[in-house]
Chain A
């Protein structure tokens, strides 16, 4: 039987967040927006660091019911070879991208650690900042990735609802809830500087998931005090697999969740991807969000070959070009920032031991 750690279910630290999420009045949303906007402006100013994802491969060994890349889908499988990775990165650099997120599915024979590490090495040759969203790894593997120039790991629990988690992750390594839950800690112990957390809204009760996500972030902050935390807010979109969200989250609720996180965690980076439509992205940019993806392709090889509809991991709702999106930010008096990191700061950080 899986037993959740106490810090994940402790109610003491999140009463204000809970109150903000439970109150659904339009007036309270406006009040929260005003507060969140002022807090974001004060702490982060009028700038927006930008990044873009590069899908290295869509091979996968897991059976996530909601994912277009799950191993039982008929999606054609492909991985980029070294030459293709270089060409995709060159195409991304043409768009101005200097901060890259490398993605793969769960570990397979075709796409494992050595392949991923090589991809990080290649990306670090020309990108200013390299982060990874792939499979859970060991402390030693994370230390090697940090040494290659990977500064951040994104690893979503998808849902913190144990029963839903076990039902949705039908087979494969991702089925182990606690192993995935402990992944950010292994990454921080391995010297990765920043951890991206998130749930995939739509899989379970959004308020419960948001509260547990918050507790997870707070636990990491307290235990690994050097660790950077960022939180993303992906929402289930139409997938290649055709999965319908059981707990759909509308724009108002998603906005409420994001604003509540800003208020509850004033210094934490909040991220929004191109899964969301332009009006939502632009609006949230001024209110709470402090890091965004841009000009994204979610198919393997998508930057050079263009995106073929229905084959990406999810459908993109904001398909504006880099220039169009930057223009939209500027019209809101927000400066798009392509380089917000310095490779001189790369290498494993000192997160070797947790504070007990």
Chain B
């Protein structure tokens, strides 16, 4: 079977959902179900133990077959992210932590230096660390070295809908990586999820494109199908693109000549 393997955990779905931007918890839950996702991420700042109707964690934790991956969105330093990871594990019981550290709350770009430090500490403490990063091939390898369960490079800026603007860098990360590469952020259309999977990504994470759709459950199902299609195409092996014209007079006819 073709499964997504994250440390000792296996998932048959390769679509991961973000949960933060939906018009209601009910709509979000419908989308999660329609997506077939088995792994979903939820921000610690949206855990609300005091006010259950405002809480995203509770309803998600009751969904059968779902593994929760808390995230540290809102943290701007390694120290804050480490603290948040520990609180998240305490509250959710999940070994996964999506390390998201963006010191600038406007553009939400991940801080590579703080992310590296948080990942190193959290991996050594036994977390399954899933770091959200800029598509930097060297950073991806450094994170692999300290024991991350995956790397999650952005396709393009969060909420930008610019798809795989980082495709060239992503392809280097995919080629070099020995841990799963999961494209996180920027995907707008299911076709972009399919393309990421065709490139050899292990999974994709989608939030805005589904939450902002007029019909989130239907869009979630479309992403489910396209992620699956892209993966199957990757496994089957894409026909090679023809990049070079073939010369009418053979260029290598000299080979084998006697003198």
Contact = CB atoms under 8 A, between A and B. Distances in A.
Interface of A: 41-47, 93, 96, 98, 193-194, 221, 225-226, 228-229, 267-268, 330, 333-342, 344-345, 347, 349-350
B24 A98 contact: no
B232 interface: no
A93 B50 CA distance: 10
A29 B46 CA distance: 35
A330 B24 contact: yes
A123 to B, nearest CB: 15
Nearest to B87: A344
Interface stretch (B74-82, B169-177, B190-198): B74-82
B106 interface: yes
Contacts of A226: 76, 103-104
A269 B182 CA distance: 29
A339 B51 contact: yes
Given A341-B74, A344-B44, A350-B77, A47 B20 contact: yes
Interface string B44-71: 1111101100100000000000000000
B106 A46 contact: no
A345 B75 contact: yes
B10 interface: no
Nearest to B106: A267
A339 B48 contact: yes
Contact of B46 (A336, A339, A345): A339
Contacts of A345: 45, 74-76, 80, 84
Which residue, of A46, A333, A338, has the highest number of chain B Cβ atoms within 10 A? A46
A129 B108 CA distance: 20
B208 interface: yes
B46 A337 contact: yes
A348 B92 CA distance: 27
Contacts of B80: 344-345, 347
A44 B159 CA distance: 7
A282 to B, nearest CB: 14
Contacts of B83: 344
A228 B106 contact: yes
Contact of B50 (A98, A330, A337, A341): A98
Interface string B86-98: 0100000000000
Contact of A45 (B20, B43, B84, B106): B20
Given A225-B104, A228-B106, A330-B24, A337 B44 contact: no
B138 interface: no
B54 A344 contact: no
A349 B48 contact: no
12 contacts: A45-B208, A45-B212, A330-B24, A333-B23, A335-B25, A337-B54, A339-B50, A339-B51, A342-B45, A344-B75, A344-B87, A349-B103
Contacts of A43: 158-160, 208
B51 A344 contact: no
Contact of B212 (A42, A335, A347, A350): A42
Given A267-B106, A267-B107, A345-B74, 12 more contacts: A41-B212, A43-B208, A330-B24, A333-B23, A333-B24, A338-B51, A341-B74, A342-B45, A344-B84, A344-B87, A349-B76, A350-B76
Contacts of A41: 212
Contacts of A334: 23
B52 to A, nearest CB: 11
Interface in B125-164: 158-161
B23 A342 contact: no
Contacts of B161: 42
A46 B211 contact: yes
B188 to A, nearest CB: 8
B22 interface: yes
A344 to B, nearest CB: 5
